[in-house]
Structure 1
Amino acid sequence: MTLVLRFGRSDAARCRFAVSPLLETMTALLMLKSPGRHGWYLTWLRDVRHVVAGLDLALLNVAAPSRGHGPDFLWPSPTGPRTTIEDDLAQVRATDPRVVAAELAEHARRLDPRTVPADVYRALTGDPVIARDMLVAQQRLAWQALVAPLWRRMRGLLDADITARSRQLADGGLERLFADLHPRATWRNDELHLTGFRRGAVDLRSRGLVLVPTVFGWPNLGIGPTDDSSVTVPALVYPMLGAAQLWEPATQPPAIVRLLGAGRVSVLAETLIPSTTGGLAQRVGLAPATVSQHLAVLRDAGLVTARRRGREVLYSQTPLAVALLSQRSASRINQGADDPVVRPATAAKGKLHPCRNGCDDYDPSTRT
Structure 2
Amino acid sequence: MLDLFGEAVRTWFDTVLTPHWPDLVCAYRQQVTCASQRLAQHGLGGLFAGLHPAIRWREPVLEVRTWWGGDLPGTGHGLILLPSPLAGPRPRVLAEPGRPILLVYPVVMGAHGAAAGGDSLGRLLGVTRALVLHRLAADGGLTTTVLSRAVGISLSSASEHATALRSAGLVASEREGGAVRHHLTALGAELLRGSSGDSTEGWLPPDQAAGWPSVLP
TM class by shorter chain equals 0.5 to 0.7
Q: Distance in 1 between matches of 2:41 and 2:99?
A: 28
Q: Could you say what secondary structure the match of 1:238 adopts?
A: strand
Which runs of structure 2 are paired with 1:1-368 in the superposition (5 Å)?
130-131=1-2, 133-196=3-66, 197-205=68-76, 207-225=77-95, 227=96, 230-243=97-110, 244-248=112-116, 249-252=118-121, 269=126, 272=129, 317-323=160-166, 327=170, 336=180, 345-346=207-208, 348=210
Maintained 8 Å contact 2:93/2:104: yes
Q: Please name the residue that 1:39 is paired with.
A: none
Deviations 1:258-290 (A, max 9, x none): xxxxxxx86x625649xxxxxxxxxxxxxxxxx
Q: Please name the residue that 1:24 is paired with.
A: none
Percent of matched pairs sharing the same residue: 23
Q: How big is the shift at 1:200?
A: 2.5
Letter in structure 2 aligned against 1:153? D
Q: Could you say what secondary structure the match of 1:220 adopts?
A: coil
Deviations 1:56-80 (A, max 9, x none): xxxxxxxxxxxxxxxxxxxxxxxxx
For the structure 1 residues 141 and 242, does the alpha-carbon distance in structure 2 shift closer, same or farther, using more than 3 Å as the test? closer
Gapped regions of structure 1 (runs ≥ 5)? 1-129, 254-264, 274-306, 308-313, 338-342, 350-368
Normalized per residue, the structure richer in strand is 2
Q: Distance in 2 between matches of 1:185 and 1:153?
A: 24
Deviations 1:2-60 (A, max 9, x none): xxxxxxxxxxxxxxxxxxxxxxxxxxxxxxxxxxxxxxxxxxxxxxxxxxxxxxxxxxx
Maintained 8 Å contact 2:85/2:109: no
Q: How big is the shift at 1:159?
A: 1.1
Q: Distance in 1 between matches of 2:42 and 2:58?
A: 14
Maintained 8 Å contact 1:221/1:236: yes
Q: How big is the shift at 1:326?
A: 7.8
Pick the structure with greater CA Rg: 1
Q: Could you say what secondary structure the match of 2:40 adopts?
A: helix
Q: Distance in 1 between matches of 2:51 and 2:73?
A: 19
Gapped regions of structure 2 (runs ≥ 5)? 131-155, 174-178, 182-204, 212-217
Per chain length, whose mean CA-contact separation is higher, i.e. which structure has more relative contact order (CA < 8 Å, sep 6+)? 1
For the structure 1 residues 160 and 325, does the alpha-carbon distance in structure 2 shift closer, same or farther, using more than 3 Å as the test? farther
Q: How big is the shift at 1:344?
A: 5.8
Q: Distance in 2 between matches of 1:146 and 1:325?
A: 35
For the structure 1 residues 326 and 138, does the alpha-carbon distance in structure 2 shift closer, same or farther, using more than 3 Å as the test? farther
